[in-house]
Structure 1
Amino acid sequence: MHMGGKFYCSICTRRTKGFKTRSGLQRHETLKHISYNKLPSHIQQISNSELSYLKSAIIKKLQKRLRNNYTAVGEQTFSLHCSENAFVGVFKDHITRYSPCESFYFCSFKGENAFDEIGQILDDEKWGERNYGKGQLSFVRLYVPENGDDNHKQKTKMKLSANGEMTVKWQMTGGKDKENHKFEAGSVQFRFFWINVKYRFFL
């Protein structure tokens, strides 16, 4: 919230002294409200057909990243445009952080049940795997047992753990020209780790 030349936190229940810059408010949110995930009141309900379309678009984009290339495994990122209402309609029960200041929502999926959890969200139990036949399978990795024999485990400096995680972030981005004409749109970004294996690894 911007008032009187200062930025105020809309999450704090008590009135704060305000911040001189937006970056100061951003730091405050990160330090004090890292787990805040209460949805804003302006969110509107979206039709089931539009939500189904977004889910299908997500799966289509992701499947294209699951290549049949054993040497190209690793971190992948893709984005697609969608409205704030549509994003919340799909991921509302799984949002771990909402930032009013930076206008973003964040979700993280990892662990033994994460693959099935995303499958329920997207209404597709095979959302994150692509079968190329002849025993070749590419899939999103969200969990590796601690005592498991991982043929793909490697030292990495990637931001996402090779042990598996998917992060989903929706954010409003844009800008303005010299005449203060604003242009902005919402987009959602997916980051995940994928591998390509032979079926015999599972036997």
Structure 2
Amino acid sequence: MEPFSEGLFIVLFYNESTFQYSPAKRMYTCKFKGGQGYEQLGILFDNKNWGSKKRQTGTCAYVLMQNTQQTYDVTFCWKERVYKDSDIQLRCGSMRFEFNVDVRDFVEGN
């Protein structure tokens, strides 16, 4: 997502235990892992079902955070980007996030 405010990224994630800043890279990161991370993101987004999307076809896509074999994480990163054009420099922040999805049939529990 670009542009994305550095201040907004900090406000969203500063209180999280995995919040980190790298001065050398001028980059912030914050990770959420497994079922507990899924729940914490639900609190931050004020939506306990933030990681699923039902389609009109009846299928549902899920952000994969945990299965019987392993746990996965969602990582949010903010980094400053510098665009140069002749003598003009434009600084702008961008946020990216990485997550896993599973593509197969799911059976919803009761």
Q: Given the two structures, how large is their TM-score scaled by the length of structure 1?
A: 0.47
* Worse overlay, 134-143 or 167-176: 134-143
Larger Rg: 1
Distance 1:80 1:196, change over 3 A: farther
Partner of 2:8: 86
Tell whether 2:36 aligns with 1:129.
no
1:164 is the counterpart of 2:86:
no
Note the residue ranges of structure 2 that are not aligned, 5 or more in a row. Answer: none
Whether the 8 Å CA contact 2:34–2:71 is kept in 1: the answer is no
Pairing 1:109–2:17 present: no
Please list, as runs of the form range in 1=range in 2, the aligned pairs for 1:42-61 lying within 5 A after superposition. Answer: none
Structure 2 counterpart of 1:191, from 98, 101, 110: 98
Instruction: Report the TM-score when normalising by structure 2.
Output: 0.81
Identity over the aligned pairs, expressed in percent?
24
Tell me if the contact between 1:166 and 1:192 (Cα under 8 Å) persists in the aligned partners: yes
Task: Determine which structure has greater relative contact order: mean sequence separation of CA pairs < 8 Å that are 6+ residues apart, divided by chain length.
Answer: 2
Judge which range, 169-178 or 120-129, deviates more. Answer: 169-178
Contact 1:96/1:107, CA 8 A, preserved across alignment:
yes
Aligned residues between the structures: 109
Matched residue SS, 2:50: coil
Is the contact made by 1:170 and 1:189 (CA closer than 8 Å) also made in structure 2?
yes
Divergent runs of 4+, >2 A: 132-136, 175-179, 195-203
SS at match of 1:86: helix
Structure 1: gaps spanning 5 or more residues: 1-78, 147-161
Q: Judging changes above 3 Å, is the alpha-carbon distance between structure 1 residues 133 and 183 closer, same or farther for their aligned structure 2 residues?
A: closer
Q: Which has the higher helix share?
A: 1
Aligned to 1:119, which of 24, 36, 42? 42
Shift of residue 93, structure 1, vs aligned partner: 1.5
Post-superposition offset of 1:111: 1.6
Task: Tell me the equivalent position of 2:107.
Answer: 200
* Counterpart position of 1:64: none
Q: Deviations over 1:114-157 (max 9, x none)?
A: 111111111111111012367522110111133xxxxxxxxxxx
Larger fraction in strand: 2
Distance 1:196 1:80 in 2: 28
Residues 63 and 100 in structure 2, CA contact (< 8 A), matched pair in contact too: yes
